[in-house]
Amino acid sequence: MTGQDRSDNIARGLRQAEEVCTRHGVRLTRLRRAILELLLAAGSPVKAYDLIEQMRGKGERLTPATIYRTLDFLLQYGLVHRINSTNTFIPCTGNHDEHALLMFVCSECHQAEELDDPALYESMRARLREMGRSLRDNSIEIQGRCEKCARE
């Protein structure tokens, strides 16, 4: 990704977040916006602790509780996703329904991406239901090797 693409992505992500917040009648406060911007700029999953460090680098000291509260807000409105297996966060890049998330996580480079495949998501969920199982928080996380790692 070029620098220009990246700053376009950040601008687009922030604009979408503003729209989501307006639609729900909630505020994208300065802190929420700053954390989302860091996640958009990162290009790979980020740990909460690293967000604290990055904010400290900008002269702002945040407690873990503040960071988690901010992340919870962003999670609640589908602006970011939590990767459970690595306990990291990425900005939402998909245009999926907020109740259907299919996440692919590379167990070698830890890159994570949303798979835009509603049919795959639905068939897995339906099959689990037949087996008497259900999903936690409507998300499926798949561990594997990404295209790049599989080539090496």
> Which residues of the shown chain bind Zn ion in the complex (CB under 5 A)?
92, 94, 106, 108-109, 114, 146, 149
Nearer to Zn ion, 130 or 147 (CB): 147
Least separation in angstroms between CB 20 and Zn ion: 11
Cβ-based neighbour number of residue 21 at 10 Å: 18
Contacts 24+ apart (CB under 8 A), 61-69: 62/31, 66/31, 67/35
State the minimum distance, in angstroms, from the CB of residue 60 to Zn ion.
Answer: 27
- Taking CA atoms, 20 is separated from 26, 31, 69, 74, 108, in Å, by 9, 16, 18, 10, 33
> Percent helix, strand and coil across the chain, each rounded to 5?
50, 15, 35
Task: Give the residue with the Cβ less far from Zn ion, 35 or 55.
Answer: 35
State the nearest-atom distance from the C-beta of 57 to Zn ion, in Å.
27
Nearer to Zn ion, 52 or 100 (CB): 100
What is the smallest separation between the CB atom of 56 and Zn ion, expressed in angstroms?
Answer: 28
Q: Which is nearer to Zn ion, 55 or 105 (CB)?
A: 105
